[in-house]
Structure 1
Amino acid sequence: LIVASFIILALVAAGAFAIPLASANTVASVSAATYYVSPTGNDNNPGSATQPFRTIQQGIASAGPGDTIIVKPGTYDSQYARATYGHAEWNSNVGSQGGQNGTAAAPITLKAENPATESPANLRSVILGNGSGFGIYLNGAQYLIIDGFEITNFETGIGLHNGTNNVTVRRNILRSNTAVGAECAPCSNSLFEYNAFVDPGPAYPDLSDAIQDYGLNFYEGSANNTVVHNYFFGKHNQALSWKRKAGPGYAAYNTFEGFMYTAVYLGQNDDEGGQDMTSYDVTVEYNVFRDATDASTGVYYRSRSPITIRNIQNAIVRYNYIENMYGAAIYVRSCEGGYYCQTVAGKRPTGAQIYGNTIVNGWQQGSGGVSGPPDSSGGGSVNPPAFYITGRGYTGDTIEIFNNTIYNTNEAFVVAGTPSYVSTQETSAAPDLTITNNNM
């Protein structure tokens, strides 16, 4: 069995929980100055430990390459938001709206005094929104470290936009934001590590109940991003997604507990309007997927279809541990009606290698009536298979499935030949499948 790189100890009252962490890699920098922010500070202060700033934005505006901004515990709420951008903004295009960029040798660090994932609720630095905007907004920024905040009740907790690159996001709790915990649109060469993406949701089991629809997503050409040692919990519709020609990407050593639709979605969007949306070259390995119960409330969170593969080239899914799923553990999807599986710029969603995974316990309950892919009602499939594979609408689509271990599921493989929508220039045939040396 694959053992997660960290163990979730508890989910306790007021949302406090502890994640024992391996030592996070730190980025060496030459720290020119350290600035402080406190709920009792004043932006007319010099930003010292004894005379801190009041707003995070003032710390950002003051810092240069190699500097560190330390944010004291407390709540930084909408009274101190910056226009529609939330509480903290780097904007490389309009200097007056944000701070400087760091450099490779001297990144700028914005950090909570106590890392949120390692601290009780009363010692956290909380960035609290009003349901819209961004908690932290990065517009073309580079060489930054965002470390240790709890960010909640924004539309987007952290947004890395418009070519933001070389940013590390670590030890943050992204909780109950109205659309997404963190997103890249696009970003590149960024690292997400040791964060918690938490979506308790309002109720069970309606699919539309997810508050934080996405935990973390990459789109609009986001490239070379890494997601490791994170915890995803609750009712996300998609906990982690690569879509709209995102890639390459890497996800490893993450734990996913509960998800309403799918935990990892590779190639979510079809080609449409003559635009190529094919994602590519994403590896998903050494992750754990399972259901969960919140220890503080007793609410149960099911795990639906842990991994979905759709409009992507060269997906590698290996060495993951999956248990107690309510839909197919690994689901190779076709395009959907109303969209087109077009061949744009010669790209096609072809090629996936799926191997070395351990899949345990397909639930025998739910709605649907037949074995198959997850339905839209929220109940999951009856007797879900370990693998559900459809043609993705293209000739030459090759899926290799080998050396997987499948235990206590009603069916190991279901192969359906006809996609739900097929381009007139393409095929309705099933993909070319190689299924070898699996232990069932």
Structure 2
Amino acid sequence: MRIHRTFLLAGGAVAVAAATVLVAPLAQAASASLTATFTQSSTWSSGYGAGITITNRGDAAASGWVVEFDLPAGSTVSSSWDSVRTSTGQHHRFANASWNGAIAPGASTSFGFNVSGTGVPVNCLVNGAPCAGGPAPLPSPSSPSPSPSPSPGSSSPSTPPSSPGGSIVDVATAAQLTTAMANARPGQTIRLAPGTYDGSFIGTTPGTAAAPITVTGPRTAILTNPAPSGSGPSCPAPTPGWDPGYGVWIANAPYWNLVGFTVANAKKGVVVDNSPHVTIDGLYVHHIADEGVHFRRSSSDGVIKNSTVEYTGTVQPAYGEGVYLGSANSNWDCHGNSGGVDRSDRVQVLNNHIGPYVTAEHIDVKEGTVAGVIRGNTFDGRGISGQNSADSWVDVKGSGYTIEGNTGTFGPPGTFANGYETHNPVTGSGCGNIWRDNVSDLGGVGRYAINVTSTSKCAGNLNVVYSSNTVRNATTGLTNITVTP
């Protein structure tokens, strides 16, 4: 049953109301005054989806926020988005992302999360004060001290500081960004000012584990590349005079961090080629002609987390994957640079919000890749095209993946067969994957939450579906294989 319930969070209690309750905080001249309202938007047998809206009822802008609360034993936050989350036991803390920390007087911002369990938040604080407004409580020996409010100008926790000895390069134009990325050095941080950057942005200088290269900016720093030009090699490689139309391209350059900004209106969003240990954190990728984010050409040990990917495949729906790991074996002639295979292994896809209007799979895991993690993501299946067999949230052709704690929904328009699928295009692929604690709502259209297409091709390395997975509104059921307790 879908429900929409709103709670005003305060002290140690939760008040339930049919609509959002507004409680005026104590007035304070020339200062920000924040309240936080909890909204439970959907429920299922083992948990629920929710959001918190933070409103500035003061007369000065807020430069950052931290919301924290406790959940009763047996309930925990399984995934979140549009914030930076840290959890210790039953205590959960959410800091603003790099793009949504500033709140003007009278304005609001929000973040979302999923809870495993049915307990609702208590002891809510926003910037150390009660979420319903009023003065901060006095700390007691039995409760942790509230976290300090972010100070003006402080970095969001999702924005990594420059490495020791590294410099900061501030840019405000496309030309400056192009030059900064071309001249980047290990340990350097390239910091984007708000604005639109239209051009070809390529990083080819390797960072190191101790001194990665970082490009960071607010969500209002928007990188676009709508006009590819020139001609390049048949297998894409950075080539003078050729613009492939990628929003950001990291090529032959491990240890880069891309943090907080927006990529939009490009042929492909973010492409990572032959570049291990690249981290994408808090990006907003939308209105992309083909796929949103692609780890390609043995870009192993990468991470995409806390990001939003939507409106992909706007020109070629069949190629509009949200997140694409590896390459199809038909493309290994180009991208199979590890013994003839694209080994984009051990990539982690964590706590992202993917969809709606991702026209192909939300995550496409290609054959030849192994040992990745897909955890804590939210999939909104509206707009899946059905072209080129794109009819599920996640298609797993790789092996040894852990897929857990994700929440998926489907509603019209679109074509939808199953929530998760496996396929075995080459020997040994699509095997040994594990599903646990995933929540699926198939909208009365999808057959199975998890459809395993073959067991005979995975003899000795079977896919496993645990009973902790749940499904609603399926035309057939949870899975087509025996469930493991």
TM-score after normalising by structure 1:
0.61
Of 423, 430, 451, which residue of structure 2 is paired with 1:331?
451
Taking the aligned partners of 1:384 and 1:36, their CA distance within structure 2 comes to 55
Indicate if the aligned counterparts of 1:224 and 1:249 stay in contact, CA closer than 8 A: yes
Indicate if the aligned counterparts of 2:81 and 2:306 stay in contact, CA closer than 8 A: no
Of 291, 304, 307, which residue of structure 1 is paired with 2:420?
307
* Aligned residue in 2 for 1:234: 356
* Aligned residue in 2 for 1:37: 171
Taking the aligned partners of 1:209 and 1:108, their CA distance within structure 2 comes to 32
Q: Classify 1:231/1:5 alpha carbon distance in 2 versus 1 (closer, same or farther; 3 Å).
A: same
Q: Classify 1:284/1:25 alpha carbon distance in 2 versus 1 (closer, same or farther; 3 Å).
A: farther
Taking the aligned partners of 2:325 and 2:288, their CA distance within structure 1 comes to 17
2:298 corresponds to 1:176: no
1:196-275 equivalent positions in 2, closer than 5 A: 196-199=308-311, 210=317, 213-219=320-326, 220-236=342-358, 237-258=360-381, 260=384, 261-267=391-397
Deviation at 1:192, TM superposition (A): 0.7
Deviation at 1:302, TM superposition (A): 7.5
What percent identity do the matched residue pairs reach?
Answer: 20
Taking the aligned partners of 1:349 and 1:213, their CA distance within structure 2 comes to 34
Deviation at 1:55, TM superposition (A): 3.3
Indicate if the aligned counterparts of 2:82 and 2:307 stay in contact, CA closer than 8 A: no
1:384-431 Cα distance to aligned partner (Å, 9 max, x none): 433235xxxxxxxxxx5223xxxxxxxxxxxxxxxxxxxxxxxxxxxx
Indicate if the aligned counterparts of 1:318 and 1:355 stay in contact, CA closer than 8 A: yes
* Aligned residue in 2 for 1:138: 250
Of 108, 117, 142, which residue of structure 1 is paired with 2:213?
108
Q: Classify 1:306/1:188 alpha carbon distance in 2 versus 1 (closer, same or farther; 3 Å).
A: same
Q: Classify 1:281/1:150 alpha carbon distance in 2 versus 1 (closer, same or farther; 3 Å).
A: same
Indicate if the aligned counterparts of 1:170 and 1:192 stay in contact, CA closer than 8 A: yes
Runs of 5+ in structure 2 lacking a partner? 1-45, 49-77, 84-107, 114-155, 229-243, 327-341, 385-390, 425-429
Q: What amino acid does structure 1 have at the position aligned with 2:202?
A: E
Taking the aligned partners of 1:103 and 1:309, their CA distance within structure 2 comes to 35
Secondary structure of 1:5 counterpart: strand
Taking the aligned partners of 1:256 and 1:307, their CA distance within structure 2 comes to 11
Taking the aligned partners of 2:160 and 2:190, their CA distance within structure 1 comes to 15
Q: What amino acid does structure 1 have at the position aligned with 2:255?
A: Y
Deviation at 1:195, TM superposition (A): 0.7
Of 352, 358, 361, which residue of structure 1 is paired with 2:463?
352
Q: Classify 1:58/1:191 alpha carbon distance in 2 versus 1 (closer, same or farther; 3 Å).
A: same
Deviation at 1:355, TM superposition (A): 0.3
Q: What amino acid does structure 2 have at the position aligned with 1:125?
A: I
Taking the aligned partners of 1:349 and 1:144, their CA distance within structure 2 comes to 38
1:56-71 equivalent positions in 2, closer than 5 A: 56-71=177-192
1:302-353 Cα distance to aligned partner (Å, 9 max, x none): 8652111222121001111111342121111259xxxxx9x8xxx8794111
* Aligned residue in 2 for 1:127: 224
Deviation at 1:280, TM superposition (A): 1.5
Secondary structure of 1:262 counterpart: coil
Deviation at 1:244, TM superposition (A): 2.5
* Aligned residue in 2 for 1:75: 196
Taking the aligned partners of 1:18 and 1:303, their CA distance within structure 2 comes to 30
Deviation at 1:127, TM superposition (A): 2.6
Taking the aligned partners of 1:282 and 1:199, their CA distance within structure 2 comes to 26
Taking the aligned partners of 2:167 and 2:410, their CA distance within structure 1 comes to 45
Taking the aligned partners of 1:35 and 1:178, their CA distance within structure 2 comes to 30
* Aligned residue in 1 for 2:484: 402
2:79 corresponds to 1:5: yes
Indicate if the aligned counterparts of 2:249 and 2:271 stay in contact, CA closer than 8 A: yes
Taking the aligned partners of 1:128 and 1:18, their CA distance within structure 2 comes to 29
Indicate if the aligned counterparts of 1:111 and 1:146 stay in contact, CA closer than 8 A: yes
Q: Classify 1:319/1:20 alpha carbon distance in 2 versus 1 (closer, same or farther; 3 Å).
A: closer
* Aligned residue in 1 for 2:51: none
Structure 1 runs, 4 residues or longer, greater than 6 Å off = none
Q: Classify 1:223/1:27 alpha carbon distance in 2 versus 1 (closer, same or farther; 3 Å).
A: farther
Indicate if the aligned counterparts of 2:162 and 2:189 stay in contact, CA closer than 8 A: no
* Aligned residue in 1 for 2:270: 158
Indicate if the aligned counterparts of 2:196 and 2:222 stay in contact, CA closer than 8 A: yes
1:212-252 Cα distance to aligned partner (Å, 9 max, x none): 61001111221111111111011332110211211110010
Secondary structure of 2:343 counterpart: coil
1:270-281 equivalent positions in 2, closer than 5 A: 279-281=398-400
Secondary structure of 1:70 counterpart: strand
* Aligned residue in 1 for 2:88: none
